[in-house]
Amino acid sequence: MARAMVGVIGGTGLGEALGALGGGEVRALDTPFGRPSAPITLTEVGGVPVALLPRHGEGHMLNPSQVPYRANIWALKSLGVTHVLASGAVGSLREEVAPRNLVIPDQVIDKTFRRAGTFFDDLAVHVEFAAPFCTTLRNVLVKAGTGFPARVHQGGTYVCMEGPQFSTRAESELHRSWGASLIGMTVMPEAKLAREAELCYALVALPTDYDCWKPHPASVDQAKLIEEILANVKSATQNAIELIRRAIPHVAALEKPCACQSALALAIWSDRSRIAPATREKLRPILEKYLAG
């Protein structure tokens, strides 16, 4: 397999802490889908090339609906990234998934409705998405979590809501009734776009609280609650950075490409001879190997 390059997309907390993975060359890119959330830092972790991108931008100025997901994934792909390890703060919908734990989810329910969810506005492309997270990359994270000081949950369904407001109590109870484990705002369409770009993608979710289904003690006022959540973010962030740091060498050691890296092989339904030159150029980093000649 060609040499791996790992993209790390940091969510709430981890986005501001990505510098802990190392400094390096900073690349300010433009894409056919606009500018990414922030300049991308190119560095190495254990000798493995890594591209660091804070999802919400410098200073956390982008809310989940404003994140330029297409620009972010396109930029990483154009830089040569092959695998993406993402993180994101979430609310827990399960008693056993406690704040400050980490979760490697395996399923998603997409409730977003304001976000551009595909690169392919000008042609018909249908990728398989039954397993929304790369199984190979999830296994890497599980292996890296062996003996980890914080509890790492394997599997769970992530409900991705539009936001930016949090759930109502009725919504939280509904999501629990679906069997979901996590509620968040950022994994979609990020994971879908990564699949369209033939990037392996997995998520480290950082539970910060129990959403609103679990009542808070009456003795805890709102200010104290926010303080507690921020402390949970800080702790989970440090755990996530360490887990990702441990996982990166395992990514580099992978010997075989996985199905994610040929996701478009049977997915392009449009007549390729009719794809406009402008579209070919716009999507060159993604489609080039399928439109040769």
Residue 195 in domain: yes
Mark whether 30 is an active-site residue.
Answer: no
Mark whether 106 is an active-site residue.
Answer: no
Q: What angle do CA 14, 93, 132 make, to 5 degrees?
A: 65
Is there a binding annotation on residue 169? no
Residue 60 in domain: yes
pLDDT at 163 (0 to 100): 95
| pLDDT, tens digit (0-9, with 9 covering 90-100), for 171-197 | 999 999 999 999 999 999 999 999 999
List all residues 6 or more positions away from 249 whose beta carbon is below 8 Å from its beta carbon.
45, 46, 47, 48
- Decide: helix, strand or coil at residue 293: coil
Is there a binding annotation on residue 186? yes
Is there a binding annotation on residue 209? yes
List all residues 6 or more positions away from 59 whose beta carbon is below 8 Å from its beta carbon.
none
Q: Which residues of the chain have pLDDT under 70?
A: 1-2, 12-20, 218-220, 293
Q: In the 8-state DSSP scheme, what is residue 215?
A: P
Is there a binding annotation on residue 56? yes
Q: Which residues pair with 200 in a beta bridge?
A: 83
Is there a binding annotation on residue 208? no
Residue 119 in domain: yes
Residue 15 is inside which H or E element, if any? Answer: helix 14-17
Is there a binding annotation on residue 60? no
- Structural domain of residue 126, as residue ranges? 6-290
- Decide: helix, strand or coil at residue 83: strand
Selected catalytic residue, list 30, 209, 221, 271: 209
Q: How far apart are CA 72 and CA 228, in angstroms?
A: 31
Instruction: Give the count of domains, the chain.
Output: 1
Look up residue 136 and give its two tokens: 């190979």
Residues in the chain: 293
Selected catalytic residue, list 30, 106, 211, 221: 211
pLDDT at 220 (0 to 100): 67
106: CATH: 3.40.50.1580
pLDDT at 236 (0 to 100): 85
Residue 1 in domain: no
List all residues 6 or more positions away from 280 whose beta carbon is below 8 Å from its beta carbon.
287, 291
119, 74 contact by CB (below 8 A):
yes
